[in-house]
């Protein structure tokens, strides 16, 4: 038996989705936005896509700088990830407010998050309109992962990656459900 789902909630049928934190930089100001709508798009060249509404401060900064980092969130980052997806960086220094630790990137200006499982450094490769969002396509120019978490794939016995279920509900790869 199936039941119909309102179209406004249809995207949730594709959850849980891996939580990433998009880090941008304008001058000395660093901004962080939480996203669950991110995915790989190409191996050659290595491209990733993150869906961001044009009204977001992150969108403005990526378009202006042409760079961003995608940081793979862990379960230990739940409160920071939820916070960074709930307030605008136009008014708040989210790095300070969420007590995030930064580390220098290898090839782009925006930093990586030191507590993340992994960091993909990206240069804006292109964009594509997508309804009320725009797909920001980044070419990965450097990638790092926390030691011991990754071989050909994540070692799920060690990496407690954070996945978004919807609203303030999250889970890990072990199935643990958490509420922010």
Q: Which CATH number fits domain 18-179: 2.70.98.60, 2.30.110.10, 2.40.50.1070, 3.40.50.10880?
A: 2.30.110.10
pLDDT of res. 174: 85
pLDDT of res. 157: 86
Residues 6+ apart with CB under 8 A from 24: 30, 31, 32, 33, 58, 61, 62, 65, 67, 68, 110
pLDDT of res. 175: 85
pLDDT values of the chain reduced to their tens digit, one per residue, 180 residues: 999 999 998 988 888 999 999 999 988 889 999 999 999 999 999 999 999 999 999 999 999 999 999 999 999 999 999 999 999 999 999 999 999 999 999 999 999 999 999 999 999 999 999 999 999 999 999 999 999 999 889 998 898 999 999 999 999 988 889 898
Query: Which stretches does DSSP call E strand in 79-168?
Result: 102-103, 112-113, 118-130, 133-145, 162-166
Whole-structure pTM value: 0.94
- In the numeric block, the tokens 């997508």 are attached to 130
Give residue limits of the domains in the chain: 18-179
């Amino acid at each position: 038996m199936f039941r119909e789902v309102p179209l406004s909630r249809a995207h949730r049928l594709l959850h849980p989705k891996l939580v990433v934190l998009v880090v941008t930089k304008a001058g000395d100001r660093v901004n962080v936005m939480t996203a669950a709508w991110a995915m790989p798009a190409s191996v050659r060249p290595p491209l990733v896509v993150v869906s961001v509404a044009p009204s977001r401060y992150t969108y403005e900064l990526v378009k202006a700088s042409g760079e961003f980092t995608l940081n793979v969130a862990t379960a230990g980052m739940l409160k920071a990830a939820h916070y960074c997806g709930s307030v605008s960086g136009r008014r708040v220094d989210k790095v300070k407010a969420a007590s995030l630790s930064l580390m220098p990137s290898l090839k782009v200006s925006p930093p990586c998050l030191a507590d993340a499982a992994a960091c993909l450094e990206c240069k804006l490769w292109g964009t594509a309109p997508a309804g009320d969002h725009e797909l920001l396509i980044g070419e990965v120019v450097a990638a790092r992962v926390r030691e011991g978490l990754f071989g050909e794939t994540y070692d799920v016995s060690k990496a407690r990656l954070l996945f978004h279920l919807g609203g303030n509900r999250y889970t890990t790869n072990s199935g643990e459900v958490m509420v922010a």
